Chains A and B, each alone.
Chain A
């Protein structure tokens, strides 16, 4: 059953020599539903703040277009470049903040749930300033909703400007919309978001939908839009007139209305297939690649009984015996590996203060690339792989071991004695061969490196 160290390893950010693990499941839930202290301590921008950057970029672009060939256009071009660069620098700082959140939080489950749901609703910027908006998107559209209703999370994620941009909803226009009729050519429907909402975000790829549902949902979605100034907005002139039939249900009318889109999202959010899909994903992410079917069924029922109350579903996960099986069956993703190492090392909260971008990136971003997880760049909208074998490849493991042997000394000036560190990092669960390595390593650096390289540390 419940075990404080296991709670930190499986549902938190790993063991810390400083921050005490939770005492019980109610303690975990109390922390999770309390104020988000760590976010205040290590702040990052939210999307509302980030939009100021996008607004300025949009202004510069406008100047460049309307005043082509003038000195003003030249200045605007330069300013646009500076804006892009500043966003890139800010992104590097937020990565450091997010590492420190994981290293110092006493509410590790909140970080884990945020990561899980951000991955479920993968959205990143593709080019220009918005390319750096992934963290602000998570901060605003995901993080506040991880203990709320799934329907609210779904709505926040889908209407986030970063999502609308990432899955090309911005470009989608009803073939019979006012705008398309005026524009003639170049305008059309884009099914990308509609497809992913059904396939990835709600029902799942095996769910009861057809290509016709994708098409109708795409028509219903037309009008979802954002601009830098206002953020999300609904453009009636983009919207396809008429009702659309999704999963047999009619939505909308000749008068385009965003409420019809919210209605279909609300229905999808409590669909039995959505419950099963979400339950399976949670169990896979937190417990094992091939989870106990009873756990999945338990979570599914809880999801349906509570109309997708994510706090209730999370509690159901923590209360199920399979959640506390003593053997560790999952592997940390590179970001989890790196940040849990920082936590075990108690990397000082001021470690990244005043560092320039070209000092931050080799510390934080570059190692993730080598480990196979380029920061905020998953290959597709399906997010990062869960399969352990996708990460523990020869190259991936070599990169992790290389990191473990060299980087701890750069993150924490006073490397701990490996004989102590093995307990900081692994607690009472330290296996004999790792204890042996901690004592037999030929120096402190390799001793720490070996402990962090051990399967016992890399699993969760």
Chain B
């Protein structure tokens, strides 16, 4: 649902005319660039369904790898891209190779949350988003990204965005986070809009929400008309964002919307991508999910312009999958997995982590990649690198019970 062409024009006119009254609304007062708490941007993508880290970042140099994977195609012979001689990247993320070469892409391997053994998506995702060492207590009440925001005085509603339809535990909590999905448009006639404004004029809660909703649902069109959709590419125009039909798919629409907000005053965006639960025919199902991830990152990069240089994208999943392929050319729920990092703020081009090996004795419970480090540690170091949070604060409040360990040097 988007505004029709006629509506766009009325929105333009209105936005100019209403400049003053917009500024009076607490929800839409734009945070000026200088007043924003930080210059750096953080995008968190939750990969739902448990991404198979061993297929995405393939340890082709490990002698046990090929035998474990059996029926699953892998290695450079199957189209994977060599990363550093030991690891190779799944062909489904091949379009990200220019980022790898430019130092804007990294991976962390053999990581997991503290969640163990039950391997439930529901619990695993809750724990990933809660950022707590277990599932009891306050863990279920707020998410780590919101707890991070709670540490910063003066956070405004426009600083952080949670995108998409699903309520995300990750961004839930006391700090203000704007929730929006670009496919909720408010397409009403100009007359209805006028009448609605009048009905809501005396109710501040409704009035402010309506004002911002009209602004948000018109934001795309407005930006297009002002020529802001083709931002200064800073000499990075060689990589194209998805075009045509692909560009209109929901994940790309969300990425475009996030980029537009992050280019301006927003500093944090979070959303999720699904489709990683590949129990069956992983050779078919995983590439689809990876294509969405790759498109999302390329869209962010293309649309953010120079702001990409101040951005870190963190893509994490609830747990990994079994080291062995199962009987239906897929993999089942496992433990250790991989994390993807992208962005111009990264010291990229690395596959980080302590590789545990894939020999029988090396596997967790004889079946899963052994997690050698807490995935929260890397998220914590990114926060510290981007925003300078105190280490004790990260280890006690944002990620209770976390030992961050040595600085892996993720951020430039």
Known: A389-B205, A393-B179, A446-B191. A399 touches B184 (CB 8 A): yes
Q: Tell me, in angstroms, the Cα distance from A212 to B140 when the chains sit together.
A: 20
Cβ A401 vs Cβ B191 within 8 A: no
The answer to whether the Cβ of A397 comes within 8 Å of any Cβ in the partner chain is yes
Q: Is the CB of A453 within 8 A of B184?
A: no
B206 CB to closest chain A CB, in angstroms? 5
Q: Choose, from B6-14, B195-203, B334-342, B369-377, the stretch at the interface.
A: B195-203
A377 to chain B: closest residue by CB: B167
B135 close to A (CB within 8 Å) = yes
B172, CB-defined interface residue at 8 Å: yes
| Tally of contacts, chain A with chain B, CB under 8 A | 122
Question: Which of B136, B186, B206, B217 contacts A191 (CB under 8 A)?
Answer: B136
Contact B122 A126 (CB under 8 A): yes
Cβ of B27 within 8 Å of any chain A Cβ, yes or no, is yes
Question: Chain B contacts of A195 at CB under 8 A?
Answer: 136-137
**Least CB distance, A66 to chain B, in whole angstroms:** 18
The answer on a CB contact under 8 Å between A402 and B184 is yes
Q: B66 at interface (Cβ–Cβ under 8 A)?
A: no
- Closest-by-CB residue of B relative to A446 is B192
CA distance A7 to B210 in the complex (A): 28
A431 to B169, CA, bound (A): 38
A432-457 CB contact bits vs B (8 Å, 1 = yes)? 01101100111000100110011110
Interface assignment of A360: CB less than 8 Å from any CB of chain B = no
Of all chain B residues, the one with the shortest Cβ separation from A218 is B136
Contacts of A191 in B (CB 8 A): 136
Chain B, 159-203, CB within 8 A of any chain A CB: 165-167, 169, 172, 178-181, 184-189, 191-192, 195-196, 198-203
A370 CB–B CB distance under 8 Å:
yes
Question: CA separation between A389 and B187, bound complex, in Å?
Answer: 23
Q: For residue A272, give the distance in angstroms from its CB to the closest CB of chain B.
A: 24
**A453 CB, nearest partner CB in chain B, Å:** 6
In the assembled complex, A458 has its CB within 8 A of some CB on chain B: yes
**Distance in Å from the Cβ of B36 to the closest Cβ of chain A?**
20
Q: Does A398 contact B (CB under 8 A)?
A: yes
Shortest A443–chain B CB gap in Å is 8
Q: Which residues of B contact A380 (CB under 8 A)?
A: 140-141, 169
Find chain A residues with CB under 8 A from B383 CB: none
Contacts of A358 in B (CB 8 A): none
The answer to whether B206 touches A397 (Cβ under 8 A) is yes
| Residue among A127, A374, A382, A397 making CB contact with B141, cutoff 8 Å | A382
Whether B192 contacts A449 by the Cβ 8 Å rule is yes
Q: Which residues of chain B are within 8 angstroms of A456 by Cβ–Cβ distance?
A: 199
Instruction: Given A191-B136, A405-B192, A434-B199, decide whether A394 and B209 contact each other with a Cβ distance below 8 A.
Output: yes
- CB-nearest residue of chain A relative to B169? A379
B213 within 8 A of A: yes
User: B201 to chain A: which residues have CB within 8 Å?
Assistant: 433
- Of residues 374 through 423 on chain A, the ones whose CB sits less than 8 Å from some CB of chain B are 374, 379-382, 388-389, 392-399, 401-402, 405
Q: Is the CB of A370 within 8 A of B184?
A: yes
Indicate if A81 sits at the interface (CB-CB under 8 A).
Answer: no
Q: Is the CB of B189 within 8 A of A446?
A: yes
Residues in A with CB closer than 8 Å to B213 are 394-395, 397-398, 401
| Contact B188 A395, beta carbon cutoff 8 Å | no
Instruction: Give every chain B residue within 8 A of A176 (Cβ-Cβ).
Output: none
Shortest Cβ distance from residue A394 to the other chain B in the assembled complex, whole angstroms: 4
Residues of A contacting B178 in the complex (Cβ-Cβ under 8 angstroms)? 393-394
Q: Quick check: A441 and B192 within 8 Å, CB to CB?
A: yes
CA–CA, A195 and B216, complex, Å: 41
Closest to B183 in A: A370
Cα distance, A419 to B10, chains bound together (Å): 28
A372 contacts chain B at the CB level, 8 A cutoff:
yes
Docked-complex contact B140 and A398, CB < 8 angstroms? no
Instruction: Decide if A394 touches B27 in the complex (CB within 8 Å).
Output: yes
Given contacts A394-B216, A433-B201, A437-B198, contact A192 B136 (CB under 8 A): yes
Contacts A127-B122, A393-B179 hold; do A442 and B192 have CB atoms under 8 A apart?
yes
Asked if B205 and A392 make an inter-chain contact with CB atoms under 8 angstroms apart, the answer reads yes
Q: What 1/0 mask marks residues of chain A from 317 to 330 whose CB sits below 8 Å from any chain B CB? A: 00000000000000
Write the A188-199 contact mask toward B (1 if CB under 8 angstroms, else 0). Answer: 000110010000
Residue of B nearest to A186 (CB): B117
Could you list 24 examples of A-B contacts with CB < 8 Å?
Answer: A369-B165, A370-B165, A370-B181, A372-B179, A374-B166, A374-B167, A379-B172, A388-B205, A395-B213, A395-B216, A398-B185, A398-B217, A401-B196, A405-B188, A431-B199, A433-B199, A433-B201, A434-B199, A436-B195, A450-B192, A455-B199, A455-B203, A455-B205, A456-B199
Can you add 15 more A-B contacts, CB < 8 Å, to A395-B180, A398-B184, A440-B191? A127-B122, A389-B205, A392-B206, A393-B179, A394-B210, A394-B216, A395-B216, A396-B209, A401-B210, A433-B202, A436-B195, A441-B195, A450-B192, A455-B199, A455-B205
